[in-house]
Structure formats: structure tokens, C-alpha cells
Amino acid sequence: MNRPVYDPPRTAESIATAGRPPGPRAAPAHAPAAPPALELRGVSKSFGRPRGDQLVLDDISLAVAPGEFVCLLGASGCGKSTLLALAAGIDEPSAGEVSAVGPRPALMFQEHALFPWLTAGKNIELALRLRGVPRRERRLEAERLLGLVRLSGAYGKRVHELSGGMRQRVALARALAQASQVLLMDEPFAALDAITRDLLHEELIRVWQEWNQPGTDARSLSVLFVTHNVREAVRLGGRVVLLTSRPGRIAREWRIDLTYPRRLEDEAVAEKSKEITEELRKEISRHARS
């Protein structure tokens, strides 16, 4: 099996082509590689009582470099959400270790999970409060984050007044309010219509690039994005990691050396997607035969 090893980008140039913006955090060629922002080492997870005999994830080793954008791809039920839950520290692995730099990773789901009785702004302020941001700074910071996701003016709007796409923007702003260095995203745009999803892909890449911008004080932001949509993975990721089905193991990974912004209909995106789809199909049919 093609076991992945941690292969961090080594130079500013290779970082740029690996799908992350170059910047002051890009290590010079002679410097040692930065430790991963998120790392899973030999992680396995079983469910089932009393013996835990349903092996869902088997010996996963995956490292996400600071500022890297990694997409995790696999058939339905292969353990993608389970892997995110372990990365988030919501659940414990049955074997192996998980580590992440900085505060606990932020999570964003398909469902926005905003509190409907609070306004957009107050939802974000709640995350700021939990982070210990003083009351007098919260409003300004919530408005700054709403501006970042292009929702200036939505501070006082309640959740039911927002469209699906706007809700996911607020959810993104709230995730960013946690100031985590790792953002875990579980099919965050799967419930949106194609045009809104396309727009939010653009916005997410813009926000991630701005966050990792050279010259800003902010710490790097790494993203681990779960999807079963190959094109979405190729459009967004600097690296795409494919999981096998039952149990989930890392089957293969690809570096996506395409510059941003990318479009779903780009020929290069289509080509890479075709190659990855073939591998995904093989995985699905292998699983169907077993």
C-alpha cells in the first residue's frame, strides 16, 4: 500500500505550488521544516459494543503543514467524519495519537449549527467570549469577521433572515473567531445550490489566503476539508488525500500544483479530477466486491 509520509513543503517556491500562499511563514530553504499544524500518527478507530469490533479507521498517518489546505476524499461511510471528530478532539482514537498546534481546532459542518435565537453578530461574539476576548472588543471583532466573509451589515440579522449561503458564511466567521490554527470542515457546502457553492469556494480560498497573507501578524490557518466531491477537492486543495472504504486507510494522495484562484470548469481541474475519480471508483468497486 502506498503509505503517506509527512512531506512538508521545503521552500517558499514549493509551498506556493503546493497550494498555499507564500509568505513570511514560508521557511527558507536552509531552515528545518515547521512541525505539522495537525498530525495523526498510526490512528485507528473501532466502534461496537462490547468488543469494539467494527474497525472504521485503520492506521491512519496524516500530517497537515502550517497554512496547508488538504482535502480528504472517500466514499460514503469510509470514516471521513470520524477522522475529523478525532482531529477535533471530540472523540478518542482506539490506537495512535492525534496532535494539533494552538487552541483546539475549529469545526464547521454541513449544518450551520448557529443559535437561531441569537443574531449573526451575537453568534460570533459567543465564540469570542468562549475564547476570552474582552466584552468591549467583541463587537468590533465580530464585525471585522463578518466583513471578512463579505457580510458587513448582517450583524443584527437573525438566522432565519439569512439565506443558506449567508448562514454558512456566518458559520465560517464563527469558526474563525476561535482563532484556531486548524479549521476542520465536514462537507460544509454540500447542502447549497451549485452557484452558491461555487461562490463559497471562492470566498473560502480568499479568506484562507488572506489569513495566511505575508505581512500579517495572524498565525497560519491550515484547513482539513472533507468531501466526496472530487472536483470540489481539486478546486480547493493543495493536497488531496483519498481514503479506502471499510476500514478507512489512506489509499493515495496527490499534490495539486495549480495556482489559485481555480475554477470548477478549468481544464486542469477537470483533468486532475478525472484521474482521482478513477481511483475513487476503483476503491468503491473494490469495497463492493469485498
List the one residue from 38, 78, 128, 172 that touches ligand ATP (CB under 6 A).
78
Cβ proximity to ligand ATP, 78 vs 256, nearer residue: 78
Give the binding range for ligand ATP (CB under 6 A) out of 8-16, 79-87, 156-164, 274-282.
79-87
Site string for ligand ATP, 205-234 (x = CB under 6 A): -----------------------x------
Size of the site for ligand ATP (CB under 6 A): 11
Identify the sign of the CA torsion 261, 264, 269, 273.
positive
Cβ proximity to ligand ATP, 82 vs 168, nearer residue: 82
Q: Is 74 in the site for ligand ATP (CB under 6 A)?
A: yes
- CB of 109: closest distance to ligand ATP in angstroms? 10
Q: Is 169 in the site for ligand ATP (CB under 6 A)?
A: no
- CB of 52: closest distance to ligand ATP in angstroms? 10
Q: Is 241 in the site for ligand ATP (CB under 6 A)?
A: no
CA atoms within 13 A on the CB side of 189: 22
Q: Is 96 in the site for ligand ATP (CB under 6 A)?
A: no
Give the binding range for ligand ATP (CB under 6 A) out of 72-80, 166-174, 217-225, 257-265.
72-80
Give the binding range for ligand ATP (CB under 6 A) out of 73-81, 93-101, 156-164, 229-237.
73-81
Q: Is 277 in the site for ligand ATP (CB under 6 A)?
A: no
Q: Is 80 in the site for ligand ATP (CB under 6 A)?
A: yes
- CB of 50: closest distance to ligand ATP in angstroms? 13
Q: Are 241 and 201 in contact (CB under 8 A)?
A: no
Of 167, 248, 262, 131, whose CA–CA distance to 209 is shortest? 262
List the one residue from 24, 31, 35, 47 that touches ligand ATP (CB under 6 A).
47
List the one residue from 4, 77, 96, 165 that touches ligand ATP (CB under 6 A).
77
Q: Are 270 and 107 in contact (CB under 8 A)?
A: no
HEC string for the chain: CCCCCCCCCCCHHHHHHCCCCCCCCCCCCCCCCCCCCEEEEEEEEEECCCCCCEEEEEEEEEEECCCCEEEEECCCCCCHHHHHHHHHCCCCCCEEEEEECCCCCEEECCCCCCCCCCEHHHHHHHHHHHCCCCHHHHHHHHHHHHHHCCCCCCCCCEHHHCCHHHHHHHHHHHHHHCCCCEEEEECCCCCCCHHHHHHHHHHHHHHHHHHCCCCCCCCCCEEEEEECCHHHHHHHCCEEEEECCCCECEEEEEECCCCCCCCCCCHHHHHHHHHHHHHHHHHHHHHHHC
Q: Is 81 in the site for ligand ATP (CB under 6 A)?
A: yes
Q: Is 79 in the site for ligand ATP (CB under 6 A)?
A: yes
Cβ proximity to ligand ATP, 17 vs 277, nearer residue: 277
Residues forming contacts to ligand ATP in the complex (CB under 6 A) are 47, 56, 74, 76-82, 228
